[in-house]
A and B are shown apart, each in its own frame.
Chain A
């Protein structure tokens, strides 16, 4: 039985290091190639030795697909392609291809330059790796080879995020990557057609959460910023360079425009600036509003938001600053935070999750007095610009004994969560849209998956799997095999019955020719002609003994009358030569050579009339009715 095998190398019952191997109809595809935020050792990259111990990966993989540019989905790519060795095609969308190298480079810088790691991929490797990338458009069907084809669907989440359909013949798998089913200020909602894949591999980060409407959060956020600015206070919003930063920028920009506000908004230079540039370019990947209005004005050409300069932090008067990194553990955001923390008019808004031990986490948990190590902050000032997610501050990295500073936080601390993953409802909605035959959960915690799995099985009556890393799940498929039918045969057969109905199977007669890996259904005559075979007629003959002392022709007459009476719908004929035909079945009677009282009925029919022939024989075997005559 044909099967699809799925093995997560990462992201199996876990978040981070997404890497899933799929074997479908003899093709091997790797979905995503990410790094893990939580580890700094070998475990940060997927274990590619699972694929092959020795030899190039190219021989074992038909293609690699990257869903979006977050490092936990593409961070291991240069390592995989350049250091382990892979020369096959890598597929990603255009925005991902544009932004991915920037993030990889940033990641490399932090790991190598700041942490001083060796044996890490180099800038050149990133470049070489990107040369292997083939960019795809939304809804474009790409033929990887003759049988394997892939197609990208819009996924929301971040700019350029896509879901991929992988299809071989009529077996297919959909991999969602990360996706968002509710639109936000700069991206639309994920969408997929009713493609009915054999397997849907979906993320399940928020498997046990149903989120509230985004509007309330947005409104709260805007209200808080607005109030602080009106009071003359300064607002600090620590963000990571890509994704949420742009959403918040758009949110504030439109709000400023709407409310005619004048206070300046700044975002930190560097990565964010570069990223905004790409957002400007890929307008088609954004939401309806931005797409519709960009003819008048590209929304990412911010009117109110300007690049930040270090000196601006001391300017008097209200302002809003977006600064990296997002957890206040280092860099510009921390510097600004230190400057502004003392004034109760100011405010810091944390737009995302903070890892324990960071300043962000401390202030969010209500700590009002912080001890800061002066030197360390300076030395790490450029650290961790753009890594998404959980980066633990590196406390080993010290140049000189720390100088402890007491910092009293008087400014207001607010928390606003803006997440771009689908919640439980969203996941269910996507499953409903795609109508898969099986579902497989990745990119989530095991306990939460368990709940969702149970729900999916209960509501959709499909099988749901949640393999751990390295665990292989096998799914048996029941692929339909396409057969070409000759038009003549089809017309002939449809002419007999009613109209064909798409939902009902239909019986037809024909000859199946399997030749050169293709199937064709043709009429028998054509098959014979094509194969150069002479037509053979297959005839069944059967002798039936009847006890009848009468003359032969009388017996024949009796049989004739009997059959005529029973088979009313058929044409039964008595031929002059003493034989009977029922349709094309011939019946002849002869006297038994030894016993004259026994008549032998010779019934002969062709293969095509098998049904009627065997019925007739069984009828005759029962004997003739005792007639009065």
Chain B
């Protein structure tokens, strides 16, 4: 027996120890708090303890204990501020994830009974709200809380009433049928209870009541139509927050009961509720508080059920002068336009009022929607104007007739003083452009903005022109003239303007047709001089004409000979802008590409695949043959990339890969590998250079292309591994002694190991490859000496086959183009040495993922000093998918120079191999398996890839004057 006991004891003790260890931490928190609170001699002390306590997190298991202690102190405490803190802590604690607060709910409700301080009461209700929101699934709990809240609604403090309403809003019963009997008298009609507080004496409570009502709506309760009248009265409240909330409530009701009929006060008529609400919200657009105005203007946009009659009133403003009716400038412009004498120039009295108006008929304060947008768009605060423009946009999208009417106003907004508003209105116009046709005078105003110095504005305008309908040939001509003006003023807009003209041409072929002779300056009898082919303006005109000619077969008859030649040239050089044309007698030029072909049947795509096939199939040709074939293929691919912009990424990518392969083959082909190492220092310079270049290229392949999938990443990493093997071999040949090789071999083997771990799923597809063979030999490699390893590597490298690189669906190469500085200036940027000069850099980035994290600016000084600048995240803009724009300032500084010199500015793409997809994959897989042994596959190689052409900037730091 004793033996038995002795046998049992250690185990039991062991168990006890382990559980005790856990238990010790649990009560320690609450115990410490308890001790602290008992120690506290004054309320201030206690408050300090509580504040300190609140800073530390509490584990789920000990929450309840802590709550008990806190409650115990709560009842003992006389000081309201300490009680307040305890109440707020209760709320905080019940928020703890994983803790179910139903056990403390009763206690929390009990504390309410005897509380005298209003602040503490409000805080306790807040805590109850937290508890309630954690227990939303339990209807009886909610019921109870709502009852408690209703009881305290009569409190004299606004804070308490506020919280009660909030509680009712968040927890009030929403479901109709559920637990009907269970609903007590108090909670029966939460809407009525809340509605009663719409007339509370305190504006904060009124606001809270409306908010609670909105909360109920959000939670799915259908609000009663009866509160519409009450809500309308609240629109005239003295306090802006009440009005603001009331506007929201009215909007909600108008969406709920759009078709209900409401009477118009002081008349016998009746109108639809949504119309009435629309009129009321319109009225609020001229409210005294801009917060309300913004709110009202925003909501107007989403009231699409409103009748068109009311909608059109919003743009209506009856002008009068000296009691006589006057026409608006818009109306006059329209009339001038329709009467055919546009642009007469304003004279004094041109706008003289004509007819007398009946004084009784003038309505100065409209009850309805009259002129709401006229006011909104003229508002003092740009926030209101932007909101109005947005609303206008939304309404115009759903109503073509309204779109037509609001055009004049939108065009006016193009001249707003705030750029944001201008931009917004241009975007808006673009969005509704399929509903509208611009009149000539409107077009004139639109085009005037082309001279804006902001690139954003101009580009937005180009986008707008791309999808604008123009009604007359004069309009087209005007647009072209203005765009060409724009081009001479801002030559950097070239691409954007060409693109714009492309769409303009293809949208209006019939309007362009009569303009062709004038535009090409052809003459029926005389030959005119041939224009300069490199002139961007001439190209712009041609882009317009060729795109129009695409759907207008009669047009090419008007071309002169050189136009056809230019067409051939442009079709080749700017294929994305010039469409294929069916030209008479010109088979060479008109490629018989029918638009119906799918990408796979695209001849260029086919060509790409065929040439790759060819390369991959020819495994066992003589080395000379392989090299030649690779060289040809690379050349073909590069050319293809230049011609077909949509295939450029793909072609470049594969060409880079083949290039790597070619370099590898070349390095291995060197006949001199067999000769003793010391004699061939010169030779291995080539091999090591090749290895280095391959490494660089693989990083480019991995990080510069968007759309690279893991299939490609394997191949890239494999190539990198081969390059590293090559490096190892070269080093082994050139260095004497074995000491340094030990480390290198070990490192290499580690990399092979991590490669295997990363891409274990891909390995079966890599039959016969370098790594496949290497892994077979792994046991041997680990045990052998470095010289042995090198020898094995060398043979494996030579024998391994060439891996097929599968292509993803879409592949885009990241590219950057520095627009500014242009690098053409001969005037050096002068500044005092030691001080800083800011250089504006403006660049477009394409297909860069996460540019904020990766794009850097590099500045290279003539002395070889390089500076790397990280642009701010806010400097990047995203004008379209896959496109980014970097507009930033680079700060330059240097010591004094004797004469001006050029520095180079370029953009770099930073990469970090840890961030790569492969690394992410490792991280994921290893976490599942063994979290403690997290291996670093590569030590996070960081680097940068230059991906823009460098731009030279002429600078001159002058010595400081003393």
Q: Which residues of A contact B (CB under 8 A)?
A: 182-183, 185, 188-189, 191-194, 208-220, 222-224, 226, 254, 257-260, 287-289, 350, 364-366, 412-416, 424-425, 428-429, 432-433, 448, 451, 454-455, 459-460, 494, 499-503
Bound form: Cα–Cα A223–B452 in Å: 13
- Give residues of chain B (348-395) contacting chain A, Cβ–Cβ below 8 Å: 348-350, 359, 362, 364-365, 374, 377-382
Contacts of B379 in A (CB 8 A): 183
Which chain A residues lie closer than 8 Å to B349 at the CB level?
Answer: 415
**CA of A218 to CA of B379 in the docked complex: distance in angstroms?**
15
Residues A414 and B345 in contact in the complex (CB < 8 Å), given A215-B378, A259-B451, A451-B323: yes
B365 touches A428 (CB 8 A): yes
Residue of B nearest to A188 (CB): B380
CB distance from B636 to the nearest CB of A (A): 46
Which A residues are in CB contact (< 8 Å) with B328?
212-213, 216
Q: Is the CB–CB distance between A220 and B321 below 8 Å?
A: no
Please name all residues of chain B whose beta carbon is closer than 8 Å to the beta carbon of A413 when the two chains form the complex.
347-348
Shortest CB–CB separation between residue A576 and chain B, in angstroms? Answer: 43
Do residues B359 and A215 form an inter-chain contact, with CB atoms below 8 A?
no
In the complex, residue of chain A having the shortest beta-carbon distance to the beta carbon of B374:
A213
Chain A interface: which of B80-88, B184-192, B312-320? B312-320
Residues of chain B at interface, number, CB under 8 A? 50
A220–B330 Cα distance when bound, in Å, is 12
Contact of A193 among B288, B362, B448, B451 (CB under 8 A): B288
Q: Interface digits, B507-526 against A, CB 8 Å rule (1 contact, 0 not)?
A: 00000000000000000000
B319 contacts A211, CB within 8 Å? yes
A500 and B201 within 8 A (CB): yes
Given the interface pairs A194-B238, A216-B330, A455-B364, the reply to whether A210 lies near B322 with Cβ below 8 Å is no
Instruction: A287 to B156: give the CA distance in the assembly, Å.
Output: 43
B31, CB-defined interface residue at 8 Å: no
The interface residues of chain B, by DSSP majority, are classed as loop
Residues of B contacting A365 in the complex (Cβ-Cβ under 8 angstroms): 348
A-B residue pairs in contact (CB < 8 Å), sample of 26? A182-B378, A183-B378, A193-B288, A194-B288, A209-B320, A212-B328, A219-B445, A222-B415, A254-B417, A258-B452, A258-B453, A258-B454, A287-B380, A288-B382, A289-B417, A289-B418, A364-B348, A414-B346, A428-B364, A429-B286, A429-B365, A432-B365, A433-B288, A451-B359, A454-B359, A503-B199
0/1 per residue, B625-641, Cβ < 8 Å to A?
Answer: 00000000000000000
- Decide: A448 and B365 in contact? CB cutoff 8 A: no
Determine if B329 is an interface residue (Cβ-Cβ < 8 Å). yes
A499 to B157, CA, bound (A): 11
For A191, the closest partner residue in chain B by CB is: B288
- CB pair B378–A213 under 8 Å, yes or no, is yes
Residues of A within 8 A of B415 (CB): 215, 218-219, 222
What separation, in Å, do the CA atoms of A208 and B326 have in the docked complex?
12
CA distance A211 to B350 in the complex (A): 15
Q: Of B156, B364, B378, B452, which is within 8 A of A214 by CB?
A: B378
Give the 10 A-B CB pairs with smallest separation, nearest first.
A216-B329, A415-B348, A183-B380, A215-B412, A364-B348, A502-B201, A260-B453, A259-B451, A208-B323, A428-B364
Closest chain-B Cβ to A176's Cβ sits at a distance in Å of 15
Smallest beta-carbon distance B268→chain A, Å: 19
- 8 Å CB contact of A259 from B238, B320, B323, B452: B452
Complex contacts, A209 vs chain B, CB 8 Å = 320-322
Docked complex Cα distance between A404 and B489 (Å): 47
Say how far A128's CB is from chain B's closest CB, in angstroms.
38
Bound CA span A429–B285, Å = 12
Instruction: Give min CB distance, A413 to chain B, whole Å.
Output: 8
Using A193-B288, A220-B346 as known contacts, say yes or no to A459 and B364 having CB atoms under 8 A apart.
yes
A415 to chain B, nearest CB (A): 4
- A208-B323, A210-B321, A454-B359 known; 5 other A-B pairs, CB under 8 Å? A212-B319, A289-B417, A433-B288, A451-B323, A455-B362
Chain B residues closer than 8 Å to A257, beta-carbon distance: 453
Query: Which residues 188-245 of B have a CB within 8 angstroms of A?
Result: 199-201, 238
CA distance in complex: A495, B448 (Å): 70
Smallest beta-carbon distance A287→chain B, Å: 7
In the complex, the answer to whether B380 meets A189 with C-beta atoms within 8 Å is yes
The reply to whether the CB of B544 lies closer than 8 angstroms to some CB of chain A is no
B378 touches A459 (CB 8 A): no
Given known pairs A210-B320, A288-B381, the reply for A215 and B201 (CB within 8 Å) is: no
B329 and A217: CB pair below 8 A?
Answer: yes
Looking at the assembled complex, report how far the CB atom of A424 sits from the nearest CB atom of chain B, in whole angstroms: 6
Asked whether any CB of chain A lies closer than 8 Å to the CB of B662, the reply is: no
Residues of chain A within 8 A (CB-CB) of B46 are: none
Q: Which of B408-467 contact A (CB under 8 A)?
A: 409, 412-413, 415-418, 445, 448, 451-454
A163 to chain B, nearest CB (A): 13
CB-based contact B319/A210 at 8 Å: yes
Q: Give the shortest distance, in Å, between A416 (CB) and chain B (any CB).
A: 8
B320 partner residues in chain A, CB cutoff 8 A: 208-210, 424
Q: Select from chain A the residue with minimum beta-carbon distance to B422.
A: A258
Q: Which has the most chain B C-beta neighbours within 10 Å: A185, A216, A223?
A: A216
Task: Evaluate contact between A216 and B323: CB separation under 8 angstroms.
Answer: no
Tell whether B822 is near chain A: CB-to-CB under 8 Å.
Answer: no
Contacts of B735 in A (CB 8 A): none
Given contacts A259-B453, A415-B348, contact A185 B417 (CB under 8 A): yes
- Closest residue on chain B to residue A183 by CB atoms: B380
Given that A289-B417, A428-B364, A451-B359 are contacting pairs, would A212 and B238 also be in contact in the complex, using a CB cutoff of 8 Å?
no
Distance (whole angstroms) from the CB of A192 to the closest CB of chain B: 8
Indicate whether B154 reaches chain A with its CB closer than 8 angstroms: yes
In the complex, A194 Cα to B203 Cα: how many Å?
15
Question: A350 to B199, Cβ gap below 8 A?
Answer: no
- Shortest CB–CB separation between residue B100 and chain A, in angstroms? 37
A-side contacts of B329, CB under 8 Å: 212-213, 216-217, 220
When distances are taken between beta carbons in the complex, the residues of chain A under 8 Å from B317 are 210, 212-213
CA distance in complex: A215, B379 (Å): 12
Residue of A188, A189, A219, A222 ringed by the most chain B CB atoms within 10 A: A219
Closest approach, in angstroms, between the C-beta of A358 and any C-beta of chain B? 13
- Take A222-B415, A288-B381, A500-B201 as given contacts and tell me if A210 and B365 are in contact as well, using a CB distance cutoff of 8 Å: no
Residues in B with CB closer than 8 Å to A288 are 380-382
Complex Cα–Cα for A217 and B489 (A): 26
Per the bound structure, the CA–CA distance linking A211 and B328 in Å amounts to 8
- Give every chain A residue within 8 A of B322 (Cβ-Cβ): 208-209, 448
In whole angstroms, how far apart are the Cα atoms of A254 and B422 in the complex? 14
Give min CB distance, B60 to chain A, whole Å.
42
**Which residues of chain A are near B348, meaning CB under 8 Å?**
350, 364-365, 413, 415
Across the interface, name the chain B residue whose C-beta is closest to A414: B346
Contact of B451 among A182, A260, A364, A500 (CB under 8 A): A260
Q: How far is the CA of A433 from the CA of B348 in the complex (A)?
A: 35
- Which residues of the other chain, A, contact B416 by a CB distance below 8 angstroms? 215
| Known contacts A183-B378, A455-B362; A210/B453 CB under 8 A | no
- Cβ of A488 to closest chain B Cβ, rounded Å: 14
- Interfacial residues of chain B within 447-506, with CB under 8 A of chain A in the complex: 448, 451-454, 489
Q: How far is the CB of B695 from chain A (nearest CB, A)?
A: 47
Q: How far is the CB of A233 from chain B (nearest CB, A)?
A: 14
Q: Which residues of B in the span 281-315 have a Cβ within 8 Å of any Cβ on A?
A: 286, 288
- The answer to whether B412 and A213 touch across the interface, beta carbons within 8 angstroms, is yes
Task: Verify B347–A415 contact, CB threshold 8 A.
Answer: yes
Which residue of A is nearest B448, CB measured? A223
In the assembled complex, how far is the CB of residue A153 from the closest CB belonging to chain B, in whole angstroms? 11
Assembled-state Cα–Cα distance A188/B382 (Å): 11
CA–CA, A451 and B345, complex, Å: 33
Q: CA separation between A192 and B288, bound complex, in Å?
A: 8
Contact status A260-B489, CB under 8 Å? yes
- How far is it, in angstroms, between the C-alpha of A494 and the C-alpha of B362 when the chains are bound? 49
Which of the residues B201, B365, B409 comes within 8 Å of A459, measured between beta carbons?
B365
How far apart are the CA atoms of A288 and B385 in the complex, in Å? 12
Q: Which of A185, A208, A366, A424 has the most CB of B within 10 A?
A: A208
* Nearest-neighbor residue (CB-CB) of B154 within chain A: A499
A185 vs B417: C-alpha distance when bound (angstroms): 8
